[in-house]
Structure 1
Amino acid sequence: MGKATGFLDYEREMPGEASPLERISHWNEFSMPMAEDRLQQQGARCMDCGTPFCHYGDMLAGMSAGCPLNNLIPEFNDLLYRGCLEKALQRLHKTNNFPEFTGRVCPAPCEGSCTAGLIGMPVTIKSIEKTLVDRGFQEGWIKPEPPLVRTGKKIAIVGSGPAGLACAAQLNKAGHEVTVYERADRIGGLLMYGIPNMKLDKGTVQRRVELLAAEGIRFVTNVHVGADIPGERLKAENDAVVLCGGATKARDLQVEGRQLNGIYQAMDFLTQNTKSLLDSGLEDGAYISAKDKDVIVIGGGDTGTDCVATAIRHGCRSVLQLEIMPQAPRSRSADNPWPQWPKVLKTDYGQQEAAQLYGGDPRQFTISTRRIISDGQGAVQGVETVQLLWQTDEEGRKTPTEVPGSSVVRPAQLVLLALGFTGPEEGLLEQLNVCRDSRSNVMAEYGAHTTNVAGVFAAGDMRRGQSLVAWAIAEGRKCAREVDRYLMGGTQLP
């Protein structure tokens, strides 16, 4: 597994990036490629740790630990170290259909569970994945591999995000006829429209979609299943239906002034921007612009960061990101032990850019929005906030209380709500009479992925709730096994 003393001989090294002030002038990815010899050194840091928790892939005390895809990380790192890059990519593809996605947008729970990270810095697993797959496309190692034999079974997959694409890829390999339905005008789901281009170039998504199409998968865009096609009709025309529509119902903010103009859900802001960028380079103006505005992003997480970075590229006057929770610690706390994902303070690309441009981190913690203030003509003019104090009660529950005298009115002409999602949208699920769990997600046991309706399966965020791209791909793969088993009486899918 790599060089026996590699973790002692070499320091962790990340690929270079364009400086924040340089990259905010464009919408391109800003990570720079790493030289092959230096990349091999990073693979050499993977130690012979005996029990590699990096690919454990489960939940520990409610926290993700290791890679949900169970990637064979020590094996592809060893092959990389020995200069066998094509074989390393083949080993990576055994468990991960789309390392170009996880290598760009996954927060890398594998690295949080890396044994080398117990006493030092973890192996750069995420950047190695990205480099291997990009090299594979560049060298022509990745080619269409359509199945030699077709089974004649027809499967409809609703939703073309990572779960839907992974499920489609696996079922197509088994020889089934797979059609993927997407209500947007481009394939990819949140990979296409929910993640900004500088974080995941859309040419990268399209490159994989074209490969899948060449392998025989049929993609249908601009069709909203449940509206344009009734759910029962889709079920009647196919041998199985897989629901991968995501958890796209955005959580709202119930405060005074919510009805004012200039307040948008973060996903509407990001989606319109990317669509306009792809359609016209933003020339059509068909997006929500932050130019010359004071922007307040309410909510943290990746989506909030993406809003900060997008607003900066529009040319906003200022940007703040308000988070209701306290600032995370800078190192692991006692209740967040290895190999759990480390809940520590991270400064992502959007915060780095804002700090360089405006002189400070845009995030402010333990802040609650009390009301949104009107300019008197129906538009937002400001946001009144209050500082919170989080305290632990006798039963160990943390509850917030307002700090007296901490009310502040902050100027804002654009407010973006990045508060997460509450579950899947209605419509199709009611048409199919699919049961829901207490969180409104499709009720389907993990690993089996079968709903209460025969021949209808579910995977990804629509089943588990808002989660990581790696979990979505893992669910799509596992769901494909169960669909194949249902149709054929057994399965040889991994």
Structure 2
Amino acid sequence: MGKTTGFMEYARVEEGYTPVAERLGHYKEFVIGLDEDQSRQQGARCMDCGTPFCSHGCPVNNVIPDFNDLVYHADWKNASEVLHSTNNFPEFTGRICPAPCEAACVLNVNADPVGIKSIEHAIIDRAWQEGWVQPRVARHRSGKKVAVVGSGPAGMAAAQQLARAGHDVTLFEKNDRAGGLLRYGIPDFKLEKAHIDRRIGQMQAEGVTLRTGVFVGAATQGLGKGSKVNNGARENLEPGQLLADFDAVLLAGGAEQSRDLPIPGRELDGVHFAMEFLPQQNKVNAGDKLKGQLRADGKHVVVIGGGDTGSDCVGTSRRHGAASVTQFELLPAPPREENRALTWPYWPLKLRTSSSHEEGCTREFAIATKEFVGEKGRLSGVKTVRVEFKDGKMLESPGSEKILPADLVLLAMGFVGPVAPVLDAFGVDKDARGNARASTDFHGGYATNVPKVFAAGDMRRGQSLVVWAIREGRQAARAVDEFLMGYSDLPR
């Protein structure tokens, strides 16, 4: 503990943002991180609790009190080592993780929690600037070959850990670039893709082979242009071939099946999934030329879904120059402040306002969409009704129906599971939600019913956070290593 009374002497300092008018003119990151003095003060606020609830609240179990103390003492290099000991990609989590560790901080019982996420952000950016992040090449090769399918955070974490254990790892990705939803789901203004490219370069130096544009699935699914299943991949690889060529296969794809809203008018031109809208802008930012890009310029945009994906649609629409942006949430507005005595150390339900909301958005709560209306096949409005919840039931409020003008509706209501044909092609058993069935037991965990086939990340647990994906990738890597070698020295 660097400063015994630090939590009493220093207030929490938030990371800043560049002005709204400025940041709406580009797709670059706009967060102003803490400087060195601010970071050290925030590290000094850590109380080094006897039971570090923050570490338990963090899915990858970051050793938070230790790196806080090291930052306070200006030992940034060792802080980076401690951070990397549990987290392969802290530049991802330091930018887009919602920080459940801060909700679990003991200071959060009756004060502002330690700014753990901002400290993590400062550590990893300093580490890259100083050149401390280097490839960690295995000293010995195992002679075993592992295929990792899906290059999102779970697949990347697993591939890196397995390569460091000495295995020959090939990372397969159906898109033209690696990163999964980090690449084509998270807007650049929240996570610039150079961070992904830099990590992929490190992994390749460690021996990981990356193969993009390869869809792993049955050939009978076809490779038709614009296919929803294979995303237009250039090559199809049969599961049987993969099982013949590799000693183990890890399925680490995302939960990419968007939740639909099958109401009257769904077929109208102008109603789209968020994941039709967001990836296109990321591709354009990367220099791709797209015909007929889905854009919000001058349109009245309605985003259905109050979560992070909906917020990303808001920020992107504002950068397009939308005439108006309205975001719907079916549930009532949560309280602005949580009941800490009731919720701590768990993730609380409270109103959260993102940077995209601050850029200009009308938020509507307790509202349901009844119908998409339009003329000549083109969307012109959304019919809504106010709802209330009583005795566990959702009831419509009489006389509250209205039609809101809308030229573009983006469905951002979450994801229901992985693309089923991939699991079906391997013959993997699924749970009640359609995810790959695999336990997380210490021995034999992440193994599916198919010999040599493992599953991790959103494909196994369903839609979740980037930090959970990294955790599952790391744990699955240990399970695969133990399967191949009979033991494993990889951390779990």
TM-score, length basis structure 1: 0.94
Correspondence 1:214 to 2:236: no
Report the alpha carbon displacement of residue 49 of structure 1 after superposing the two structures with TM.
Answer: 1.7
Superposed CA RMSD in Å reads 1.2
Q: Which amino acid aligns with 2:307?
A: G
Q: For 2:340 and 2:317, locate their aligned partners in 1 and report how far apart those are by CA, in whole Å.
A: 37
Q: CA deviation at 1:334?
A: 7.7
Provide the C-alpha distance between the structure 2 equivalents of 1:387 and 1:53, rounded to a whole number of angstroms.
40
AA matched with 2:377: G
Q: Given that residues 147 and 250 in structure 2 are in contact (C-alpha distance below 8 angstroms), is that contact kept between their aligned partners in structure 1?
A: yes
Which of 399, 405, 409 is the aligned partner of 1:411?
405
Letter in 1 for 2:366: T
Aligned to 1:379: 378
Residue 236 (structure 1) aligned with residue 244 (structure 2): yes
Task: Give the secondary structure class of the aligned counterpart of 2:32.
Answer: coil
User: What percent of counterpart residues are identical?
Assistant: 51
Deviation at 1:31, TM superposition (A): 0.8
Letter in 2 for 1:245: G
Q: CA deviation at 1:213?
A: 1.0
Match of 1:459 in 2: 456
Q: Work out whether residues 420 and 434 of structure 2, in 8 Å CA contact, stay in contact via their aligned partners in 1.
A: no
Q: Deviations over 1:434-490 (max 9, x none)?
A: 000001100000241110111100000000000011111000000001100000000
Question: 1:147-169, CA deviations, whole angstroms, 9 ceiling, x for partnerless residues?
Answer: 12111100000000000000011
CA deviation profile, 1:92-114 (whole Å, cap 9, x unmatched): 00000000000000000000000
User: Which residue is equivalent to 1:270?
Assistant: 278
Cα distance in structure 1, aligned partners of 2:447 and 2:39: 42
Residue 268 (structure 2) pairs with residue 260 (structure 1): yes
Distance 2:90 2:187 in 1: 18
1:429 maps to what in 2? Answer: 423
SS at match of 2:301: strand
Contact 1:336 / 1:342 at 8 angstroms: preserved in 2? no
Q: Structure 1 residue 287: deviation in Å?
A: 2.3
User: Secondary structure in 2 aligned to 1:14?
Assistant: coil
Q: How has the CA–CA distance of structure 1 residues 413 and 335 changed in structure 2, closer, same or farther, with 3 Å as cutoff?
A: farther
Which whole-Å CA distance do the structure 1 matches of 2:394 and 2:19 have between them?
Answer: 38
- Structure 1 residue 429: Cα displacement: 1.2
In structure 2, do the counterparts of structure 1 residues 29 and 334 end up closer, same or farther at CA, with 3 Å as the change threshold? closer
CA contact (8 A) 1:246 1:460 kept: yes
Q: Does 1:303 align with 2:309?
A: yes
1:117-163 deviations in whole A, cap 9, x for unaligned? 11100011111111111111111011112112111100000000000
Return the letter of the residue paired with 1:207.
R
**What is the rounded CA distance, in whole Å, between the counterparts of 1:72 and 1:334 in structure 2?**
24
Name the residue aligned to 2:111.
120
5+ long unaligned stretches in structure 1: 57-65, 355-360
Aligned match for 2:173, one of 178, 182, 193: 182
- 1:249 matched to 2:257? The reply is yes
Partners of 2:341 and 2:168 in 1: CA distance = 48
On the 8 A contact 1:232/1:431 being kept in 2, the answer is no
- Give SS of 2:404's match: strand
- 1:55-454 to structure 2, matched below 5 A, reads 55-56=55-56, 66-226=57-217, 227=219, 228-280=236-288, 284=290, 286-333=292-339, 336-354=342-360, 361-374=361-374, 376-391=375-390, 393=391, 398-447=392-441, 448-454=445-451
- Residue 271 of structure 2 aligns to which amino acid in structure 1? I
Q: Which moved more, 1:230-239 or 1:170-179?
A: 230-239
Distance 2:479 2:41 in 1: 40
1:286 is displaced (CA, Å) by 5.0
Q: How far does residue 408 in structure 1 lie from its aligned partner after superposition? A: 0.9
- Find the aligned partners of 2:309 and 2:342 in 1 and give their Cα distance: 24
What is the identity, as a one-letter code, of the residue corresponding to 2:387?
A: L
State the 1:251 CA deviation: 0.6
For 2:296, give the aligned amino acid: A
Quick one: which amino acid aligns to residue 304 of structure 1?
Answer: G
Counterpart AA for 1:258: R
CA contact (8 A) 1:272 1:286 kept: no
Question: Which whole-Å deviations, capped at 9, do the CAs of 1:366-412 have from their partners, x for residues lacking one?
Answer: 000000001x2211000000000111x2xxxx221000000010011
2:488 corresponds to which letter in structure 1?
T
Aligned partner letter, 2:475: K
Pairwise CA distance, 1:233: 1.2
1:15 maps to a residue whose letter is E
* Alpha-carbon contact 2:40-2:71 (below 8 Å) kept: yes
Contact kept in structure 2, 1:17 and 1:31, CA below 8 Å: yes
User: For residue 449 of structure 1, what is the amino acid of its counterpart?
Assistant: Y
AA aligned opposite 1:385: T
Residues 110 and 340, structure 2, Cα contact 8 Å, conserved in 1: no
Residue 358 (structure 1) aligns with: none
1:47 corresponding residue in structure 2: 47
Q: How many corresponding residue pairs?
A: 471
* Higher mean C-alpha deviation, range 96-105 or range 425-434: 425-434
Cα distance in 1 for partners of 2:35, 2:117 equals: 16
Distance 2:122 2:334 in 1: 30
Give CA-to-partner distance per residue, 1:188-226, whole Å, 9 cap, x none: 000111000000011111111111111111111011110
Give the distance between the partners of 2:292 and 2:428, measured in 1 at CA. Answer: 36
* Contact 1:154 1:239 (C-alpha < 8 Å) held by counterparts: yes
TM-score, normalised relative to structure 2: 0.94
Structure 2 distance, partners of 1:286, 1:92, is 43
Amino acid at match of 1:238: F
